[in-house]
Chain A
């Protein structure tokens, strides 16, 4: 999931304190699961703000909502309509950065503020602890490294690790951070595949990652299905262009 952490209430308050009517929107997917921005957190933030504004004698109307997912049009459209219909002046999103972006794209002049800090793609390794596990590099190499990602889990993203800084299973940056390469070595040792690490992995083509510029994924069959009979040509052309451009 995408892991996020709620921003401090004071920071959130500073974003919205000059509006008369705001809408706090949670997200029912990732930020709900990582307890940063689901329905519950919407309530917590809303009451926190209400108390804060009350103390300062500020009259700000706070509406609450939660979209199933802030990253899909069918759910975001409902929010956009509500904002317009009810005259909301600003939106505070407790979805990840994608949610904020996507609503900002749709809301034209209405400001959308981030209520959480979006951190990483990770897993809940124990209750209350999430760990980064994938960096979305666009060309997965987990088959080469025992299923453990050197890009996301090594502080230097090296492909032929471990570096000399690994100590007692921890990374040189901190005794609190596992050395990703130690995890790789340990796991491959257990699986009896350690010898595979003898192969030198060549420099990566980072163009599949963010270094290649903002990315998009086009699934032509879905594009054409959804636009059947409609003006599908544009999307199709774009898809073709992408294919031939690679």
Chain B
């Protein structure tokens, strides 16, 4: 394959531009300053994916910062995708953090608007629902600001940069979010703004996702960006049902819920066994979903989110046939 001119110094970009099916995995930082937790997850997952997303105070809960966590996993030899939300920082803080992240060796940034602070982990934690939010710019404007810094060498305000941050720029996409007819248009805007790659909201309803992807392919958008399908690992029936009813843009087919129900029922009164059965079924579903999205035209990778279940990811990737990952010699610096 012709060597392409890369936009960044990202391994993820290299994997994609060489035509490989990419794999990213999410790592959730802890709610305290325990670096060891991040490092442990990093050691567990090293070499199993092309890059690792570090969430940024996800669901409005304070966690070890995504920049710091990203640097921690770099020290273990992993490549991070730093997530950057617009909820907590204005355009000054965002750009300053982007420059800082680049200086520290971070090469991928996922630009997202961020869950509203009222989330507090969907009521499971206290969070900070009384916080003042920022939302100075939105995710699309953030993508474009980052692209401006990288490609034009200008800050959003117009001042110039001498050394430009060499980021591979990502954005999120909720393919099945409401109102559904606006979602392709919104993806188009993210691409126009400068998104090099897209990680989607978790997909369970393959049929509906295929339909939406057909629209995307007909629009030719899959050629302008690399779309990685989001895969959320379901741990049990409760989680599936919760996501189905409460997580925007996620709808779970009845058949999957039934399967999980069956897995639980099979254990009878044995609670431990029920948990085990559901976990196994969840992993089976995950592996199937990965294989199914792999077949969908326009999909160039998967983004796996195993929330506080990172230790099950190696098994999932192995069963899905996604390891080993391609390795490239590090070019330049």
Contact = CB atoms under 8 A, between A and B. Distances in A.
Interface of A: 155-169, 172-174, 179, 182, 185-186, 189, 194, 197-198, 200-203, 206
A174 B119 CA distance: 10
Contact of A167 (B138, B140, B178, B193): B178
B272 to A, nearest CB: 35
A194 B177 CA distance: 17
Given A160-B140, A163-B138, 7 more contacts: A162-B177, A163-B139, A164-B248, A189-B181, A198-B189, A200-B140, A206-B136
A156 B117 CA distance: 10
Contact of A165 (B138, B156, B189, B248): B248
19 contacts: A155-B116, A156-B86, A156-B113, A157-B135, A160-B186, A161-B138, A162-B177, A162-B182, A163-B139, A165-B116, A166-B178, A166-B179, A168-B178, A169-B178, A173-B116, A173-B118, A197-B185, A203-B91, A203-B136
Contact of B113 (A158, A174, A182, A206): A158
Chain B interface size, as a band, is 35 or more
A164 B179 contact: no
A160 B145 CA distance: 14
Contacts, number: 93
Contacts of A172: 115-116, 119, 248
B141 interface: yes
Contacts of B156: 203
Contacts of A158: 113, 135, 138-139
Interface residues of chain B: helix, strand, loop or mixed (majority): loop
B87 A164 contact: no
B138 A159 contact: yes
B189 A160 contact: yes
Interface string B179-222: 10110011011001100000001000000000000000000000
A163 to B, nearest CB: 5
Contact of A197 (B136, B182, B193, B249): B182
B66 interface: no
B249 A164 contact: yes
B135 A156 contact: yes
B26 to A, nearest CB: 16
B18 interface: no
A203 B86 CA distance: 12
B286 interface: no
Contacts of A162: 177-179, 182, 186
A182 B189 contact: no
A211 to B, nearest CB: 9
Contacts of B137: 203
Contacts of B249: 164-165, 167
Given A169-B178, A173-B116, A200-B193, A156 B248 contact: no
